Amino acid sequence: MSDKEILLVEDNPDDVELTRIAFDEAKVANRLVVVRDGAEALDYLFARGVHAGRDPEDLPSIVLLDLNLPRVDGREVLQAIRENPRTRSLPVVVLTTSTEPFDLESAYALGVNSYIQKPVDFERFVWAVKQVGLYWLVLNQPRDP
Amino acid sequence: MQHQDLSLPSIEPAGDTAELAALREALAASQAQVRALAAQQEAMAYGISHDLRSPLRTIDAYSSMLERDAGAALDDSGRERLGRIRAAAARMASLLEALLDYSRVERVELASAPVDLGLFADLALAELQEVDAAKRVTATIAPGLVAVGDERMLRLLMTHLVRNAWNFSGEQVKLDVSGRQEDGMIHVSVRDAGSGFDPRYAQRIFEPFQRAHLAEQGAGHGLGLAIAARIAERHGGRLHAESTPGSGSVFHVELPAAT
C-alpha cells in the first residue's frame, strides 16, 4: 500500500472534516494534506509560493479534487497537472456534489482518472471514500514518476 | 422577483425595410433575453446541485455519528428524533435531485439512439429491491420495447414510472410492462396492482408538486411523474394514466419507435 500522503483540495470546511472522518473510519492511514483552493493546490504540487520549501519530487499518492474552488478552479488545477510532465501521471479523482453532464465532460476531457459524486448519506460517503482508498492506494499500480 | 417581458412585438405587414429592421432588432433583443434567462436558470440549477447538498451531507453525517456513538446514552425518544432528522435530510436530498432533474429535462439537448425501455424498467426494479428487500415482487417485462430517444432521459422516465408503481404497492408489488407499436410510435403500458388513484386526478398527477395521496400512503416529492411526463413530451410523445382505486393503475407512455 502506498504510504504517501493524500492531497485533498476542498474549500468547504465541513466537507474537509467529513472526508477526514471517512478516511479514519475506512482505516486509511495515509496523511491527509488539505489545501483550500486551486491556487494553493498548484503551489503545493509544484513546490512554490507558500509551499516553496517542499521537495517538488515528493508528490502525493492521489489528489482528491473538488471542481468549484475559489481563485483557481478545479478544472484549471487539473489542466495544469496534466500539462506538466512531472505531474502528468498523477492520479486525480474528482470528488464533487455535481453530476451535471457539463462537469463530467469537462473533467474527463481534461484527463481526470475518476469522477465521484459525494453521496448525502454518510454511510455511503464513508463507503465511497473507502473504495477510493482501496483502489488508488492498494490496488492501482502507479507509474514511476 | 422581477419578471421580464418576453413577449414578441406584434407582427404586422412590413411596409418598408426600416420597419422590418426594427422588428428584426426587437426579435434579436427578445431572443437574447430568453438566452439570458436560460443561463440564469442553469446557474440556479447548478447552485442547487452543488451548494445545497453539502450542508445536507453534514446534517446526515453528524446525526449518523451521534446515533452510532451516543445512541446508547439516549432514550427511545432521543433516538427517534435523530432518526427523524436523518429521514428529513434524505427526503430533502431526494427532492433536490428531483428539482435538478426537472430543470434538466427542459434544458438538456436530447440525443437520439435506440433505447430498451424494458431493460431500464428491470434495472429500476432491481435498484428498488436492493433498498427494500422485504417487498415481494412479481414482474413481467415484455422484451423488445425499444424507443428512440435520449438514453439518460428515457431511463429516468422508466425509473420514475417503476418507482411510482413500487411506492403505491404495499408489501406485494405486481408490475406488468408491455407494449405495442403503431404508426411509428411505441405504446408502453406500466401496470401495477397497487392502491390506484382517484380518476379525477388523472391529469393533475403529472403537474409538479401535485399529489393525489398523503406521504403515509406512498406519496413522494411530487415531481417524479411531472419529470416523466415532460420527458415523454420532449420526445414528441406523451404520458397518461388510468386507475381503478383499490386495484391499481396503468401508465401509458408513447414514444417514437425504433424502425
Domain of residue B149, CATH code: 3.30.565.10
The range of the structural domain enclosing residue B31 comes to 1-107
Look at chain A and report how many structural domains it folds into: 1
- Regarding whether B119 and B230 lie in a shared domain, the answer is yes
- Regarding whether B161 and B249 lie in a shared domain, the answer is yes
Per-residue confidence band for B228, with pLDDT thresholds at 50, 70 and 90: very high
Q: Do A120 and B90 make contact, defined as CB atoms within 8 angstroms?
A: yes
Give the end of a domain, one of B56, B91, B107.
Answer: B107
Average pLDDT over residues B4-27: 72
Look at chain B and report how many structural domains it folds into: 2
Q: Which of B54-58, B117-121, B161-165, B184-188 has the lowest mean pLDDT?
A: B54-58
Give the residue on B whose Cα is nearest the Cα of A16.
Answer: B58
DSSP SS3 for A64:
strand
Q: Which of B244, B142, B143 is nearest to B192 (CA)?
A: B244
Give the residue on A whose Cα is nearest the Cα of B68.
Answer: A123
A99 has pLDDT over 90? no
Does residue A144 lie within any of the structural domains?
no
Q: Which of B67, B62, B94, B69 is nearest to B80 (CA)?
A: B67
CATH of the domain at A58: 3.40.50.2300
Does residue A41 lie within any of the structural domains?
yes
pLDDT score of B2: 44
Distance CA B61, CA B50 (A): 17
Which chain A residues contact residue B49 at CB under 8 A? Answer: 97-100
Tell me which of B48, B51, B60, B86 to substitute to probe the interface with A (most A C-beta atoms closer than 10 Å): B60
Per-residue confidence band for B93, with pLDDT thresholds at 50, 70 and 90: confident
Q: Do B108 and A101 make contact, defined as CB atoms within 8 angstroms?
A: yes
Does residue A27 lie within any of the structural domains?
yes
pLDDT score of B196: 83
pLDDT in tens, A3-44: 789 999 999 898 899 999 989 988 888 899 999 999 999 999
A1 has pLDDT over 80? no
pLDDT score of B1: 41
Give the end of a domain, one of B107, B136, B155.
Answer: B107
Does residue A47 lie within any of the structural domains?
yes
Does residue A110 lie within any of the structural domains?
yes
Distance CA B180, CA B178 (A): 7
- Regarding whether B204 and B140 lie in a shared domain, the answer is yes
Which chain B residues contact residue A120 at CB under 8 A? Answer: 53, 56-57, 60, 89-90, 93
CB B229 within 8 A of CB B203: no
- Cβ-based neighbour number of residue A65 at 10 Å: 26
- Regarding whether B140 and B88 lie in a shared domain, the answer is no
pLDDT in tens, A39-68: 999 999 999 999 998 998 899 999 999 988
- Regarding whether B95 and B210 lie in a shared domain, the answer is no
Write down the pTM of the prediction. 0.72
Q: Who among A15, A100, A120 is closest to B89 (CB)?
A: A120
Residue A39 has φ and ψ, to the nearest 5°, of: -65, -40
- CA distances in angstroms from B178 to A125, B115, B146, B188, B190, listed in the order given: 38, 15, 11, 6, 7
Q: Which of A114-123, B60-69, B217-226 has the lowest mean pLDDT?
A: B217-226
Give the end of a domain, one of B107, B129, B153.
Answer: B107
pLDDT in tens, B199-221: 888 888 888 877 666 666 666 77
The range of the structural domain enclosing residue A124 comes to 6-139
Set of cell numbers at residue B234: 420532449
